[in-house]
Amino acid sequence: RFGDGTWKGSAPLSGSLSIKGLSIDFAGSAEFEFTLENDTVSDGTLKASWTGNGAVNGRSVTGTGSATMQLSGTADEVIGDGSTTVSVTIMGMSRSQGFPAHVTFHPSTATCTTISGDLLIDARNRASAAGITSDITGPFTATRVSGTGSC
């Protein structure tokens, strides 16, 4: 549970995705900041970027991506909604596509000033439901940089 105040943090992003002949390993990072007032997120943003390499039907694939999300929710469930752009190059041909983006902060350990957990649990579950094999992770650490409310 996040206490009132301003929280800042980051998350390394890594893992792999595999579906119908396409497999890609990726790595990147996310940075975020949000403010809780009276147990409600009043303002917040998460920005992420990543790169990936893999293969589709034996052909080399490279990719990049970025996402920007507005954070909202409560002290018990901070969520991010926004958009992501993914660019993929296969055999010298490039294509970019935009998609909706969503994350939920799933805390696993917490003190009054530091919380850690995973941002991508819901993404893994959605991938699995869509028939995509994935082990993507986004272990975050958030630090309360201002505010003194209860935890």
From the number of C-beta atoms within 10 Å of its C-beta (0-12, 13-18, 19+), residue 100 rates as: exposed
Binned at pLDDT 50, 70 and 90, residue 46 comes out as very high
Q: What is the pLDDT of residue 150?
A: 62
Give tens-digit pLDDT for 59-100.
899 999 999 999 999 999 999 999 988 888 888 889 888 888
**Torsion angle of C-alpha atoms 146, 4, 12, 121, degrees rounded to 10:** 180
What is the model's pTM?
0.88
Which residues have C-beta within 8 Å of that of residue 35, sequence separation ≥ 6? 5, 6, 7, 41, 42, 43, 44
